Amino acid sequence: MTSQKSKIYRKKLNQYLAQSVIMTIFICCILAMVLVGVCVTIFFHQALSPLMIGVMCLSICIVAICMTGLVLLYQSQKMTLPITKASEAVIAISKGNFKARVPEMKFKRKGYPFENELDELIENVNKMGLELEGMDYMRKDFMSNVSHEVKTPVAAITGFSEILLEGDLSQEEQSDYLNFVHNESVRLSNLCENMLRLSRLDYQEIVVDKEVFRLDEQIRKCLIVLSEKWQEKNIEFEVNLDDVTVKTEKNLLRQVWMNLIDNAIKYSPSNGNVKIDLNLKADRIIVCIEDSGIGISSDKQGRIFERFYQCEESHKKQGSGLGLSIVKRILELLEGEIVYESEMGQGTKVVVQLSRSIVNSF
């Protein structure tokens, strides 16, 4: 571990300091001897007495100490400057200025990641500032999206309820407006539920409630729960599932399949088809869900996991844009991965990979 750590730096700071001090003292002593010797040769022409030798030695020591002190003072100021700059940047970041950065020192690392510990400190402080700046932007954007998403159904509910209170509506009109109010209230409820779920997942770091269950059976049950949606669009399913028993957080994984299958149904056309495969490989579990929908353009694929982002405006009233964010976070907790493969007009294929370590062999 120590040898691996030392390879990170071209030269450790303690080694650099020790070498600098030794070399400084040595050079200053030589210079002091030469300086005192020259002075004695020029200004003193008598035989050297023991007293004079003692004075020369004392003079050499005094000159060497003074020269060493001045050189070390200069070197220490040069070394503490990046620490001071890093401290100033950290203080600025702690006060909310996430744009604060430490000026990077120019080093010749010669293939090493860092010149020394100070070089690593500067880079990490700058990385921290960059990450916090990005998180601050996401927070502001998140709050803006939340206010917008909540405002829309609330405005709709308020408007329709005011019309209902005015009266003078036929039974059919009352029924229509009540349906609008009900749909918007359900949408608002789902939005709040997803926001709370995502908030809990953001603060969750480990998975503790693990249980043994059949993964293939879980996916089949999700299909049954969503049967009303896919039967309404007359979607055909092609399901090929290996028998896989796993030990992990059951409810979290269920949310992944519910979201992904629901998306496949939502974006598939009427009389379309959806294919679901579950394969147990030597090193991982792979689940593929492929629909026959319109696909996702390449410029939108990089944003599909952003919160509140929806690729198609026509589906805004069918969701909140938080589903894939929840899926992404759950898979991070379960040490899984998700990849989207899509082309316009060719449908979308989502591939979820889970660690083989969750497979229960008993």
Q: What is the pLDDT of residue 4?
A: 46
Give the CB-side neighbour count of residue 186, counting CA atoms within 13 A.
Answer: 9
- Tell me the pLDDT of the chain (362 aa) as tens digits: 344 455 777 777 777 777 777 887 888 788 777 777 777 777 666 666 677 677 777 877 887 788 888 887 877 777 788 888 888 888 888 888 888 888 877 766 677 777 777 778 888 888 888 878 777 766 666 666 566 667 767 787 888 888 888 877 788 888 888 888 887 787 777 777 766 666 666 666 666 678 888 999 999 998 888 888 888 888 888 889 988 888 888 888 888 898 888 888 888 888 888 899 999 888 889 999 998 887 777 667 667 777 666 665 444 445 556 778 888 888 888 888 888 887 777 788 889 998 887 776 54
**DSSP letter string, 262-323:** HHHHHHSPTT-EEEEEEEE-SSEEEEEEEE-S----HHHHTTTTSTT--S-GGGGGG--S-H
Strand partners, 338: 352
Q: What is the pLDDT of residue 144?
A: 62
Distance CA 109, CA 186 (A): 59
Q: Which helix (H) or strand (E) holds 86?
A: helix 50-94
Q: What is the pLDDT of residue 332?
A: 83
- Edge-to-edge strand order for the sheet containing 236-241? 236-241, 273-280, 284-291, 348-355, 337-342
Q: What is the pLDDT of residue 288?
A: 93
How many DSSP H helices and E strands does the chain contain? 10, 7
Distance CA 334, CA 252 (A): 9
Closest CA to 193 of 318, 326, 306: 326
| The model scores a pTM over 0.85 | no
8 Å CB contact between 244 and 354: no
- Give the three-class secondary structure for 362: coil
Closest CA to 20 of 63, 78, 87: 78
Range 27-36 contact pairs with CB under 8 angstroms and sequence separation of 24 or more: 28/64, 28/67, 28/68, 28/71, 29/60, 29/64, 31/63, 31/64, 31/67, 32/59, 32/60, 32/61, 32/63, 32/64, 32/67, 33/60, 35/63, 36/60, 36/63
Structure tokens at 153: 């159904």
